[in-house]
Structure 1
Amino acid sequence: MKSIYLIRHCSATGQEPEAELTEEGRHQAEKLAEFLAHEEIERVISSPFTRAVQSVNPLVEQKQLELTLEMRLTERVLSKKPLEDWLDKLELSFQDMDQVVGNGESSHTAQKRVVEVLDEVLEGKEERVAIVTHGNLLSLLLNYVDSRYGFKEWRELSNPDVYLVTADEDRTLSTTRLWRA
């Protein structure tokens, strides 16, 4: 059985790729490492965004693991322009997975790229892998595993958050929320 830990980054100063963790976020990253210390994680794959890397660095250092940066784990771009009604547009994107706002990325397109990473992990030799990403992309991956995950569940995510996806020998996937904020 494979165990894949889906991790949302800790509290950050912003949404841009270079946004760092806040002071609270740095404390959360330490707590996250403590929380996962007993798990026998063999590999960590992360979005290259600073907040994701900083969120998992304490865990990587503690377990003496190599961190693999993966562009397909970057946050979904709903729109390339700021939107006053971004929350409404985001909600609609869970209802119509093909909706594209301006030059943004549809939910289906974003989901496809994160599922590629999941499939590679499922095909890989490691049994316990952590994937570090962002809220919207994490929600879309959870939706792939269980279609009941949607906008409401995205709103309920915390920073950080941890879900465990398990895959049996038939690649039947199930998910459990591990982190309780």
Structure 2
Amino acid sequence: MKLYIIRHCEAEGQAPEAMLTAAGLEARKRLANFLIPYHIEQVISSPYKRAIQTIETFVQENGIPFKMDERLKERILSSENLTDWLEKLQQTYIDQDLKFDGGESSNEAVNRMIELVNELRQGNNSSVAIVTHGNIMSLLINHYNGDFGFNEWKQLSNPDVYEIDFYKEIKVSRIWGSEIEFI
């Protein structure tokens, strides 16, 4: 199976109901065209509005089966407003069991993603896309490629797409990013 991990397009904020910006709405059109050659058979999305908006054009135009899954929602670092949240986030890449008030540890967050990925790998589809968020996406990639960490998370774009090829040896590749230009 090939799994395509898609980070949502640029959004107006971090709240679950935050919508895509005008630039995000434009980017989703390019993303929809970009994904066509990958013959994706199913799309599963975070229930957050920005994730759904990111993929709805692709799903609707190509008649791809679509569902939402709570396990794809963004990881909550803390229920408190942390002024030093970036430093705290970096610490959770080093100590993956570190947990702040009302939040999830890196291990807790990635385990819900791995559970979904394992279910997908046991299914009949050979090509599935999941639409999610930057932090949780980076933790999943780190699970399969230990070199991917905090600094790589900071380099993710909106949108961004990684492919994990589970045939034979597990291989993780970035297939979209800020360095890709469109004419």
TM-score class, shorter: over 0.9
Give the TM-score normalised by structure 2.
Answer: 0.95
Q: Counterparts of 2:177 and 2:112 in 1: how far apart (Å)? A: 27
Match of 1:163 in 2: 162
DSSP 3-state at the match of 2:129:
strand
The C-alpha deviation readout for 1:107-136, integer Å capped at 9, x for no partner, is 000010001111111111000000100000
Match of 2:113 in 1: 114
Match of 1:154 in 2: 153
Offset at 1:166? 0.3
Offset at 1:180? 2.7
Amino acid at match of 2:131: V
DSSP 3-state at the match of 1:177:
strand
* 1:92 pairs with 2:94: no
* 1:63 pairs with 2:58: no
Does structure 1 conserve the Cα–Cα contact (< 8 Å) formed by 2:41 and 2:65?
Answer: no
Match of 1:22 in 2: 21
User: Which stretches of structure 1, 4 residues or more, deviate above 2 A after TM superposition?
Assistant: none
DSSP 3-state at the match of 1:175:
strand
Offset at 1:62? 1.7
Offset at 1:67? 1.3
Offset at 1:161? 0.1
Amino acid at match of 1:4: L
Relative to structure 2, which stretch is displaced further, 92-101 or 33-42?
A: 33-42
Amino acid at match of 2:176: W
Amino acid at match of 1:126: N
Match of 1:177 in 2: 174
Q: CA RMSD in A?
A: 0.8
DSSP 3-state at the match of 1:61:
helix
Amino acid at match of 1:5: Y
Match of 2:100 in 1: 101
Offset at 1:174? 1.1
Does structure 1 conserve the Cα–Cα contact (< 8 Å) formed by 2:6 and 2:159?
Answer: yes
DSSP 3-state at the match of 2:176:
coil
Amino acid at match of 2:123: G
Identical columns (%): 43
Unaligned 5+ segments in structure 2 are: 179-183
Q: Counterparts of 2:174 and 2:88 in 1: how far apart (Å)? A: 26
Offset at 1:66? 2.3
Unaligned 5+ segments in structure 1 are: none
DSSP 3-state at the match of 2:50:
helix
The C-alpha deviation readout for 1:65-87, integer Å capped at 9, x for no partner, is 12110000000000011110000
